[in-house]
Structure formats: C-alpha cells, structure tokens
C-alpha cells in the first residue's frame, strides 16, 4: 500500500518531479506489433520507444489519432504486451509478466477513460467501491474509503445518485475516485478530458494536479490536445507514426518546439497571431515610413520584464503594441508580444539589440506600410 504523502501547502514549493527523480515507469526500446488477422498485414503501432516517467511526475504523451498513444498506455496496465524491448514499472520488469502478476500490478495502477466507463446500474458510491470489493476489502473499510474519496473529488452529496444523473465532469470525478480507491502509485489517463467542455476540462485537470501533488501520485496521460499538456504536464513526449519525435520538459518543448508536428499542435495554444488587418499587409521588405513587426518571446524570469518602457527610455523609440498574450506552462510564465517599431535602420537593429540584452527572443516578422 502506498502511504499518502503530506499535502503540500498551497503556493509552497511542491514536490514536482524533475527528470532526475527516480523513474517509476521506464520504456526501453519498446515496440509493439499487432499480428495481421485474416490475411491482413501486421501493424507496428510502436517502435523504439524510450520514455521515462519520474515518480511523482505528470508526463503527457500527445499525438494524432492512430499515432500509437492508446497502445502505449495500455502496455502500462498489461492490456497489451510489448513485442520488443523492455518495460519496467516500479523497478519490476513487466515485459514477460503473467496474468496473475498483472492482476497484482493493476491494483497499483488506476486508470480513467474518455467515456468514464462507469457501471450505469450502480450508484456513485458503488462504482467507487468496485475495485475495493474486487480486492476483498471489508464492508466497513469500503464505506470509510468511499466517503473519503467522494470528499476528495467534491462529490460527497452524490453518493446515492446513478451515473445517468450526473454531468460529464461529475462522471469523470467518479472515475477519478474509483481509480484512486486502491491507493495506486500510478494513474493512467486515457483522453480523460476529451469528452468535456473547456471549463469542465480545466476543473478536471485541476483535480488531477491536486491528487498529483497531495497524494504524490504519478500521472501518465495521453491526449491529442496541447491545451491539456500545457495545463498539467511537467514533461511531454510527442508521438507520430509509432515513434517519439520529440520529448523533454513541457516548458522547453512548448516554448521551443523542434519538430514540425509539435509546432503544429502548438499553433492553437501558445503564440499570438497578427490581427487580420495587419497580416494582409505584411511585406518582407521595409518601405518609406513602414513599421517593422517584431515578435518578442518572453520565457521564465523575463516574462514580466518592463520591455516597452525600457525601449522608450533607452533608445527613444515609439513602440506600438499589436497583439500579445501571457500564459503559464508547467507553472512558468511564457508570453509573446507583437510590436511595431519604425522600420528604418539603425532603429530596428537597436530595438533587437536592446531586447536581446534583456535575454528576450526577438524576431522581425516583416513590415507594414
């Protein structure tokens, strides 16, 4: 059994896992090929997967439909078996584990699903109780634990309701309570917010973050939405065609994507776009009296630098703010600002120099007359 760690105080330094933290799940060159059925060719769903999930971390795997995400997560609870490489979970090599070994393992691994997978004929309390009944817990212990879990997920008043009487967000809260019933060390999330509206998604991700921090639970999630990664993950792996094309700390990958697939996933989530009325007029070369459009990227400590006033006071240029946004990624600020400054030299070079001296990324996108 996994003893819960002391809850972290709000706002205090919390035990967010670093890549150096001891791994709880390790994929080593893992591959998975599904055999061809009825004359069809075999399908290699995963190839050469190297992925480490640190204990207490939140690791997100993002990819399009068919990329191999479900296969990857199903390997971790033994619903699929690897056909190449090694998979280690809590220092146990599970690659060749038999079914009874997997039954024991699954008690330490909770899972939540896109469509919640609740039993419609059971009440909320009885859904949450199910894994405890299967584990052979005593009635009194089950009652106590279910009460505690429903309080944790904010559903104390819904114990006697049936799934059909709940909203999507409430159903997923039941799913989370049920997944935590046997005090697992790992929670697997299979597109857990994909069926929810954005506001409910935010609430469920906040609840997952809370159980990660307060219970020290490790979370491995799969998603096709970068917003989910941005809101909750410490680390991210981008998967395409069965291989990981990019991985690293969520902040680094989201602010400096290296692979085009990552950049595409990011388009809707970070970064600002030029308003249409300016985008149409953007030209590569300056013209008399044009303005240079400069994209300034703020990361980490510089996200709140007083850039505009510094440009005014140090090099005496007038700056137009065209668009901007500041976000938090893995709890660190990240922002982008589009500004307009006079296109002529040496003004543009002076502006870029001043911005870079503040350790900000600055790039001229073009010029508008």
301 near ligand ADP (CB under 6 A): no
67 near ligand ADP (CB under 6 A): yes
65 near ligand ADP (CB under 6 A): yes
Residue pair 181/160 in contact by the 8 Å Cβ criterion: no
- Give the residue among 240, 239, 266 at the shortest CA–CA distance from 251: 266
33 near ligand ADP (CB under 6 A): no
C-alpha dist (Å) from residue 118 to 195, 205, 248: 14, 19, 34
20 near ligand ADP (CB under 6 A): no
Output the six-digit token pair for 235.
């680390």
43 near ligand ADP (CB under 6 A): yes
34 near ligand ADP (CB under 6 A): yes
Helix (H, G, I), strand (E, B) or coil at 198: helix
38 near ligand ADP (CB under 6 A): no
171 near ligand ADP (CB under 6 A): no
Residue pair 306/355 in contact by the 8 Å Cβ criterion: no
- Could you say which of 15, 31, 55, 70 contacts ligand ADP (CB under 6 A)? 70
306 near ligand ADP (CB under 6 A): no
- Could you say which of 4, 7, 66, 96 contacts ligand ADP (CB under 6 A)? 66
Query: What is the closest distance, in whole angstroms, from the C-beta atom of residue 112 to ligand ADP in the complex?
Result: 15
Q: Which of residues 221-260 bind ligand ADP (CB under 6 A)?
A: none
Token pair 């990624």 in the structure block, residue: 329
Query: What is the closest distance, in whole angstroms, from the C-beta atom of residue 63 to ligand ADP in the complex?
Result: 5
For residue 84, what are the β-bridge partners? Answer: 31
First to last CA, the chain: 67
- Could you say which of 23, 68, 163, 340 contacts ligand ADP (CB under 6 A)? 68
How far is C-alpha 111 from the geometric centre of its chain's CA atoms?
16
Q: Of the two residues 70 and 147, which places its CB atom closer to ligand ADP in the complex?
A: 70
Query: What is the closest distance, in whole angstroms, from the C-beta atom of residue 326 to ligand ADP in the complex?
Result: 32
Query: What is the closest distance, in whole angstroms, from the C-beta atom of residue 80 to ligand ADP in the complex?
Result: 8
Output the six-digit token pair for 115.
């469509």
From the list 61-69, 272-280, 325-333, 357-365, the region that binds ligand ADP by CB under 6 A is: 61-69
7 near ligand ADP (CB under 6 A): no
Query: What is the closest distance, in whole angstroms, from the C-beta atom of residue 134 to ligand ADP in the complex?
Result: 25
Continuous H helices in the chain: 69-76, 99-106, 124-134, 139-152, 168-180, 198-215, 226-232, 250-255, 260-266, 276-279, 307-315, 347-357
How many binding residues for ligand ADP (CB under 6 A)? Answer: 11
Query: What is the closest distance, in whole angstroms, from the C-beta atom of residue 45 to ligand ADP in the complex?
Result: 3
- Centre a 10 Å sphere on the Cβ of residue 134 and count the other Cβ atoms it contains: 13
Give the phi and the psi of residue 105 in degrees, each rounded to 5: -60, -40
Continuous H helices in 267-359: 276-279, 307-315, 347-357
- Could you say which of 23, 63, 216, 286 contacts ligand ADP (CB under 6 A)? 63
Q: Of the two residues 8 and 79, which places its CB atom closer to ligand ADP in the complex?
A: 79
105 near ligand ADP (CB under 6 A): no
Query: What is the closest distance, in whole angstroms, from the C-beta atom of residue 70 to ligand ADP in the complex?
Result: 3
69 near ligand ADP (CB under 6 A): yes
Would you call 149 exposed, middle or buried from its count of C-beta atoms within 10 A (0-12, 13-18, 19+)?
buried
Residue pair 35/12 in contact by the 8 Å Cβ criterion: no
- Give the residue among 147, 107, 106 at the shortest CA–CA distance from 129: 147
Q: Rounded to an integer, what distance in angstroms lies between the CA atom of residue 342 and that of residue 337?
A: 16
Q: Of the two residues 69 and 295, which places its CB atom closer to ligand ADP in the complex?
A: 69
- Could you say which of 45, 174, 192, 217 contacts ligand ADP (CB under 6 A)? 45
Q: Of the two residues 8 and 43, which places its CB atom closer to ligand ADP in the complex?
A: 43
- Give the residue among 289, 181, 172, 277 at the shortest CA–CA distance from 228: 172
Binding site for ligand ADP (CB under 6 A): 34, 43, 45, 63, 65-71
């Amino acid at each position: 059994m996994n003893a819960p760690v002391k809850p972290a105080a709000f706002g205090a330094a919390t035990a967010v896992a670093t890549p150096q933290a001891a791994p709880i799940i390790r994929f080593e060159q893992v591959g998975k090929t599904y055999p061809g059925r009825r004359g069809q060719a075999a399908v290699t769903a995963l190839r050469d997967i190297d992925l480490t999930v640190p204990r207490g971390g939140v690791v997100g795997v993002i990819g399009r439909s068919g990329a191999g995400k479900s296969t990857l997560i199903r390997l971790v609870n033994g619903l699929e078996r690897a056909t190449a490489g090694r998979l280690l979970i809590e220092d146990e090599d599970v690659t060749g584990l038999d079914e009874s070994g997997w039954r024991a393992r699954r008690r330490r691994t909770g899972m939540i699903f896109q469509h919640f997978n609740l039993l419609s004929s059971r009440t909320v309390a009885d859904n949450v109780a199910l894994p405890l009944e299967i584990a052979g817990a005593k009635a009194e212990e089950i009652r106590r634990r279910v009460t505690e879990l429903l309080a944790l997920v904010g559903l104390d008043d819904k114990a006697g309701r049936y799934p059909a009487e709940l909203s999507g967000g409430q159903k997923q809260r039941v799913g989370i309570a049920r997944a935590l019933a046997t005090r697992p060390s790992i929670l697997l999330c299979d597109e857990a917010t994909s069926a929810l509206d954005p506001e409910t998604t935010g609430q469920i991700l906040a609840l997952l973050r809370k159980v990660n921090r307060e219970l020290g639970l490790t979370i491995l999630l799969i998603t096709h939405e970068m917003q989910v990664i941005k809101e909750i993950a410490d680390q991210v792996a981008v998967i395409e065609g069965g291989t990981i094309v990019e991985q690293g700390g969520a902040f680094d990958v989201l602010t400096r994507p290296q692979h085009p697939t990552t950049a595409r996933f990011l388009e809707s989530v970070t970064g600002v776009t030029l308003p249409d009325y300016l985008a149409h007029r953007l030209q590569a070369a300056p013209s008399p009296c044009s303005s240079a459009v400069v994209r300034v990227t703020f990361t980490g400590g510089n996200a709140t630098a007083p850039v505009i006033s510094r440009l005014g006071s140090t090099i005496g240029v007038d700056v137009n703010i065209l668009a901007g946004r500041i976000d938090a990624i893995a709890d660190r600020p990240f922002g982008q600002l589009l500004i307009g400054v006079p296109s002529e030299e040496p003004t543009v070079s002076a502006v870029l120099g001043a911005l870079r001296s503040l350790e900000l990324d600055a790039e001229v996108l073009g010029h508008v007359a």
